[in-house]
Amino acid sequence: MKRIDLIKNPLSKDNPITVQVLGICSCLAVTAQLKPAVVMALSVTVVVALSNLIISLMRNTIPPRIRIIVQLVVVSTLVILVNQILMAFVYDVSKQLSVYVGLIITNCIVMGRLEAFAMSHGPVDSLLDGIGNGLGYGIILVILGFVRELFGRGTLWGYPIFEKLGLYNIGYENNGFIIMAPMALILVGIIIWIQRRNCEKS
Partner 1 sequence: MEYFNIFVKSIFIDNMIFAFFLGMCSYLAVSKTVKTSLGLGVAVTFVLLITVPVNYLIDKYLLQPGALAWVNPKLADVDLSFLSLILFIAVIAAIVQMVEMIVEKFSPSLYNALGIFLPLIAVNCAVLGGSLFMQQRAYANVGEVTCFALGSGIGWLLAIVGIAAIREKLRYSAIPPAMKGVGITFIITGLMGIAFMSFMGIKI
Residue 69's CB is within 10 A of a number of other CB atoms, namely 10
Q: Any contact of residue 84 with partner 1 (CB under 8 A)?
A: yes
* 76 binding partner 1? (CB under 8 A): yes
Ranges of beta strands (E only) in the chain are none
**Which runs of consecutive H residues, i.e. helices, occur in 62-122?**
67-89, 91-97, 99-102, 108-116
By CB under 8 A, tell whether 72 contacts partner 1: yes
Count, residues in the chain: 202
Candidates 7, 29, 143, 150: give the one binding partner 1 (CB under 8 A): 29
Q: With the C-alpha atoms ordered 114, 121, 117, 4, is the resulting torsion angle positive or negative?
A: positive
SS3 156: strand
As a whole number of angstroms, the distance between CA 31 and CA 27 comes to: 7
Q: What are phi and psi of 33, to 5 degrees?
A: -135, 160
The enclosing H or E element of 47 equals helix 34-58
What's the min distance (Å) between Cβ of 72 and partner 1? Answer: 6
Does position 135 bind partner 1 by CB under 8 A? no
Q: By CB under 8 A, tell whether 68 contacts partner 1.
A: yes
Choose the binding region for partner 1 from 1-9, 50-58, 74-82, 124-132 (rule: CB under 8 A): 74-82
Residue 28 CB, shortest distance to partner 1, in Å, is 4
Single residue of 9, 12, 77, 174 touching partner 1 by CB under 8 A: 77
> How far apart are the C-alpha atoms of 202 and 44, rounded to whole Å?
30
Separation between Cα atoms, residue 133 and residue 110, nearest integer Å: 9
Distance CA(10)–CA(200), nearest Å, equals 17
CB of 171 to partner 1, least distance (A): 26
Report the nearest approach of partner 1 to the CB of residue 103 (Å): 5
Shortest Å distance, C-beta 166 to partner 1? 32
88 near partner 1 (CB under 8 A): no
21-29, 37-45, 148-156, 161-169 -> range binding partner 1 (CB under 8 A)? 21-29
Site residues (vs partner 1, CB under 8 A) = 21-26, 28-29, 68-69, 72-73, 76-77, 79-80, 83-84, 98-99, 102-103, 105-108, 111, 180-186, 188-190, 192-193, 196-197, 200
